[in-house]
Amino acid sequence: MITVVIPTVGRATLPATLAAVGPGLPVIVVDDRKGAPAPLGLPDRVRVVRSGGRGPAAARNAGWRAADTPWVVFLDDDVLPRPGWAEAVWKDLVDLPDDVGGSQGRVVVPLPAGRPPTDAERNTAGLAGALWVTADMAYRRAALEASRGFDERFPRAYREDADLALRMTRAGWRLVRGGRVTEHPVRADGFWASVRFQRGNADDALMRRLHGPAWRAAIGGAPGRLRTHAATTAAGLAALLLTAAAPSVRAWRLSRVSPRPLGPAPAARVVPVLAVAAGGVWAALTAEFAWRRIAPGPRTPAEVLRMAVTSVLIPPVAVAHRLRGEWKVRR
């Protein structure tokens, strides 16, 4: 009745995920590594298919198409289903009406005790309240076939699950929540992880093109910060350009021939003032963004440094990725 599909890029956490699922359900692991990597070394009971490094959407499609059961449960390769999960998922699915196309497991994110969570930990904790995330999401095979599965234009593990859920609900399928529980640990993704995650802004452009401007509300998401990032980026760019232009304006003024001494030209006076004003706007917006990320956290020196540095970089990187995404979808 049920097949578990786990796409992977060979994370070291995969064996623990398989052990938590247990031997009671058929499992397909989709190896999405590029090239000709070494075997994953998985138990014989696990079927492995290859998807050629085309991303999680393509990997999940390869997995469910290789399954032959009425239900397919997608798990990430770094989650830990709680004890009794196999029995719980069966209870979640066995009596669902025919118009139910999917059932979401309850995702919990264990956070450290004794201190506030870091920015990265808070971001991961957001999965606990997110709708239709494939950390633990079961779909009826008939619904997957009718919707043609995941849209492989989404190259990352970002928005491809929300896109599928929106298409299914608009086609008349109901999506429900089950009672099974899966843990999603927080990964240590490094100093620059929050900057790398801004690549998802390109996927947001595709979501807007496919589902309209209200797509974020349709999946229960909070308003984004892109407009503020755009204002921050514009202010910083204006400050740099005006600062660079000020010497040229002054030199041009001094190069003019006149029979009598001239005072500073209006442009020569105004340009530095505008540069300072633009710089002040950039500094204020950047400081507000950094403090918004620092205040609820542990405020250790390492966390404050990471938030300060990445808060400078995130606005222009986010805007650049969104512009890239808009250009791509328009083409």
Convert 169-238 into a string of H (helix), E (strand) and C (coil): HHCCCEEEEEEEEEECCCCCCCCCHHHHHHHHHHHHHHHHHHHCCCHHHHCCCCCCCHHHHHHHHHHHHH
- What is the DSSP track for 278-289? HHHHHHHHHHHH
pLDDT digits (tens, 9 = 90+) for 180-237: 999 999 988 899 999 999 999 999 999 999 999 999 999 888 888 999 999 999 999 9
Length of the chain measured in residues? 331
Q: Do the beta carbons of residue 111 and residue 186 sit within 8 Å?
A: yes
Residue 39 burial (CB < 10 Å; 0-12/13-18/19+)? exposed
113-140 average pLDDT score: 94
Would you place residue 265 in the very low, low, confident or very high pLDDT band (cuts 50, 70, 90)?
Answer: low
295-322 average pLDDT score: 97
Please name the helix (run of DSSP H) or strand (run of DSSP E) that holds residue 272, with its range, or none: helix 266-294
Secondary structure of residue 131 in the 3-state scheme = coil
pLDDT of 37 reads 86
